[in-house]
Amino acid sequence: MTEVPTMDELLKDAPTNWGKWGPDDEIGALNYLTAEEVLRGVRHIRQGSVFTLQRLIGDPKGDPVWPGRKPAVRTMILDEASWDADDAPQFPGGLHYADDKIDAFLQGSTQYDALGHVWYGGQIWNGYDARTTVGGLDRASVAPIAERGVAGRGILLDMARFRGKDNLDKAETFTHEDLMACAKAQGTEIEKHDILIIRTNFLKLFFEQGDAFYEGFCEPGLTYSPELVSWFQEMEIPNLVTDTIANEVTMDPENGTALPLHCALMRNLGVTLTEICDLERLAADCAEDGQYTFLYAAAPLKVNQASGSPVNPLAIK
Ligand code: UVW
């Protein structure tokens, strides 16, 4: 069996954007999304149709999560039954209300990853010491991303449709060249600073298969190559959005590592990842009218020191 390289070995000569936006940067390639880029996105609003891209938290059919994480648990604190109790609070006028809370992994539903979410070699994004994550992310948490917000031209790359499938298969891979071919087949082109939104429809299998979905778990997705990483850097891609749990093929078939693009794109280039989106309604609309570009806007929840946080992104066509 060939030995799996460490990330340090695999990415020894890989490019980084560390220092490009100063020694204190925490939002990386989102810096590319200037006011002009927001207006470039706005120019793709033609119909006034709004698509929300978040999956329902607490879906009765289940919540897809990375192995080891648990779906959110929502608990009712107060409901009409509570107000019958002898010790129920009383409010003048007979006011009753419902209250509930959720116990949720911040990475357990549609979410933005903080740039400090993943690392190797003891350093996170921009070269910060990985010890700054201990007890909560002091650097490159999701909070600065949430504070800033994300808006720009989004382009849907419907890889499932491009490959003539309902959904991509377990461990199916594609490259940046496939993304460009997909865009071309859709009658469009990936431009510099585009927010890439990739549809695989892989999570359809989660809802069909239940627990069996996790047997030999390997999502489909982009696969690592030095050329792909250089392409992301040259195209100055700010944000990669997908409908899978981890945005890339889980186990790289070439080198055997897990999630090398998290390291090469997020940790090294500062590309923000957005995961577990529901792209079905948007994709159906794009297939119908042939318009695959739109204003993409998202503001993850502001959670201090967090490694990620839930979001309900919008695509406005
Ligand atoms: C991991 O980083 C393990 O998962 P994700 O980016 O999907 O949250």
Q: Is there an atom of ligand 1 within 6 Å of 106 CB?
A: no
Give the H or E element holding residue 197: strand 195-199
Q: What is the DSSP string of 74-98?
A: EEEEE-GGGGGSTT----TT-----
Q: Is there an atom of ligand 1 within 6 Å of 246 CB?
A: yes
Q: 222: helix, coil or strand?
A: strand
User: Cα of 275 to ligand 1 centre, how many Å?
Assistant: 8
Q: What gap in Å lies between CA 308 and CA 290, rounded to an integer?
A: 33
- Residue 292 CA from chain centroid, whole number: 19
> How does residue 51 score in pLDDT terms, banded at 50, 70 and 90?
very high
CA nearest 232: which of 253, 255, 256, 248? 248
Quick one: 232 and 194 in the same domain? yes
Q: Is there an atom of ligand 1 within 6 Å of 262 CB?
A: yes
Which residues are CB-neighbours of 297 under 8 A, at least 6 positions away? Answer: 41, 149, 150, 151, 313, 314, 316
Q: What is the DSSP string of 113-167?
A: EPTTS--BTTB-GGG-BGGGGTTS-SSS-SHHHHHH-EEEEEEEEEHHHHTT-SS
Q: What is the CATH number of the domain that holds 145?
A: 3.50.30.50
Nearest ligand 1 atom, CA 107: 8
Quick one: 27 and 93 in the same domain? no
pLDDT digits (tens, 9 = 90+) for 102-135: 999 999 999 999 999 999 999 999 999 999 999 9
pLDDT digits (tens, 9 = 90+) for 153-170: 999 999 999 999 999 999
Q: Which of 262, 263, 266, 273 to mutate to test the pocket of ligand 1 (most atoms within 8 A of CB)?
A: 262
- What pLDDT was estimated at residue 2? 74
Quick one: 242 and 183 in the same domain? yes
Kindly report the protein residue whose alpha carbon is nearest to atom 1 of ligand 1.
246
Q: Is 236 exposed, middle or buried (0-12, 13-18, 19+ CB in 10 A)?
A: middle
CA nearest 155: which of 121, 187, 126, 198? 198
Examine residue 214 and state whether it is found in any structural domain, yes or no.
Answer: yes
For the chain, the domain total comes to: 2
Quick one: 115 and 94 in the same domain? no
**Bridge partner list, 199:** 158
Is this complex's ipTM strictly greater than 0.90?
yes
Quick one: 171 and 98 in the same domain? no
Q: What is the mean pLDDT of residues 52-77?
A: 95
- What pLDDT was estimated at residue 89? 87
Domain of 94, in residue numbers: 73-103
Quick one: 212 and 288 in the same domain? yes
Q: Are 233 and 226 in contact (CB under 8 A)?
A: no
Nearest ligand 1 atom, CA 258: 3
Q: 174: helix, coil or strand?
A: strand
User: Cα of 94 to ligand 1 centre, how many Å?
Assistant: 47
Quick one: 127 and 81 in the same domain? no
- What pLDDT was estimated at residue 1? 55
